[in-house]
Amino acid sequence: MKKILLLFMAVLTLGVTARAADGDEFTIGKLKYRVLSEENHKAACTGWVEFPTGDMTIPSIVENESSSYFVTEIAERAFSSINSRFKLTIPNTVTKIGRSAFAAAIEMYSIEIPESVTEIGEEAFEFCRALTSVTIPNSVTVIENSTFWDCTSLKSVTIPNSVTVIGESAFHGCSKMTSVVIPSSVTEICKYAFRDCSSLKSITALSTTPPSTYPSAFENDPLDIVVYVLKGTHNTYSDAYGWNYFTDFREMGALDIALNESNITIEEGTTATLTGTYTKDDEVELEMVTWATSNPEVATVRSRFTWLNGEVTAVGEGTATITVTVMDGYGIPHYAYCEVTVRGNAGIEGVEIDSSDAPAEYYNLNGVRVDNPENGLYIKRQGGKATKVLVK
């Protein structure tokens, strides 16, 4: 009887698949991963098997044996020291980019960082010498030390109004950067933050109170840099320690924008219109208006009828932040936000016309319209409805 029982237990054991443990590593395609939390189904992308080339997208969900994981982190040094030319898109499940994650990826020429990212580690992009522009998401509060050190091709950087500190040597050696806008949220610019930015021609400071800084923050930069400041703050800046390194301060007109709603709730498959308004000084010109969503799987947005009208389409349950950006004649972006909550349909509430013959529009999961969708997952908008479709 004991032998039969032992044999039965052995058969059961063979039929049970071992559950992955935190820290387990696995490979899918050209990328490597590590389990961060088996219980919460989270994993980090830890590196590569083959040098990435061309357009590359890190998946938002990966599967290993019987488990699925959300990719929530790019691990420390995951893509460092890669010398092949590539463009990278990070999914909107990622919240953290680790220290030196892309350090010395010298041929990475473009990267898309989603609004889900709240932390970018020190030295994350140092020596990325092919990178020409970068937009830091509005969820990041600190640009850490040496984040973009020696990115010698970096011409354009967008610093959001969430950032409070620009760390030591954050943009040290960005020798092709010609201008930078310091948003009103920034209270501190650390030593050497913009040192050796030899092409810098203008700085726009949007706070009425000069951020605390040091002369070394702009060491070896041209002395004839124009510093644009808000009306009435010329003397405040020209007398401030660190800022008195410069000699050419110019006051500029004001522009304020707002949306008619800061929070809305709509049902899946329906649309809503957001309307922007603005007040400005006479000398300020409006150059460009753009709309964006933080999560196109929840809601998409497009300009409708006029630049300052945005049509929001509810795609799936959840929340998303809609951002309207107005660029003024000084090259300064101004933002307004609305949080959209999408709820599922409770049931059939009426009858509507079949719109299957209406023209269809396709968008990728970053909310960008695609005219000729190829293999992959897209958002399809047709006749006022939006659905996720798989194109094969």
Average pLDDT of the chain to the nearest whole number: 87
Tell me what pLDDT residue 139 has: 93
Amino acid sitting at position 367: G
**Degrees to nearest 5, angle at CA 164 with 158 and 169:** 70
Mean pLDDT over residues 226-248, rounded? 94
Tell me what pLDDT residue 223 has: 85
Best CA proximity match to 313, nearest among 269, 347, 343: 269
pLDDT-based confidence at 1, cuts 50/70/90? Answer: very low
Q: Which residue has the higher pLDDT, 378 or 310?
A: 310
Give pLDDT tens digits for 338-368: 999 999 875 444 444 445 566 787 777 656 6
Tell me what pLDDT residue 187 has: 98
32 CB contacts (<8 Å, ≥6 apart)? 25, 26, 45, 46, 47, 48, 49
Tell me what pLDDT residue 381 has: 72
3-state secondary structure 255-315: EEEEECCCEEEEECCCEEEEEEEEEECCCCCEEEEEEEECCCCCEEEEEECEEEEEEEEEC
Asked if the model's pLDDT at residue 9 lies above 60, the reply is no
Best CA proximity match to 364, nearest among 351, 380, 352: 380
pLDDT-based confidence at 13, cuts 50/70/90? Answer: very low
344 CB contacts (<8 Å, ≥6 apart)? 267, 268, 317
Q: Percent of the chain beyond pLDDT 90?
A: 68
Asked if the model's pLDDT at residue 211 lies above 80, the reply is yes
Q: How far is CA 239 from CA 65, 179, 242, 332, in A?
A: 64, 22, 9, 24
Tell me what pLDDT residue 382 has: 74
* 342 touches 273 (CB < 8 A): no
Give pLDDT tens digits for 31-78: 999 999 999 999 999 999 988 788 899 999 999 988 999 999 999 999
Tell me what pLDDT residue 281 has: 87
Asked which of 8-12, 297-301, 304-308 is least confident by mean pLDDT, the reply is 8-12
Helices (H), 17-115: none
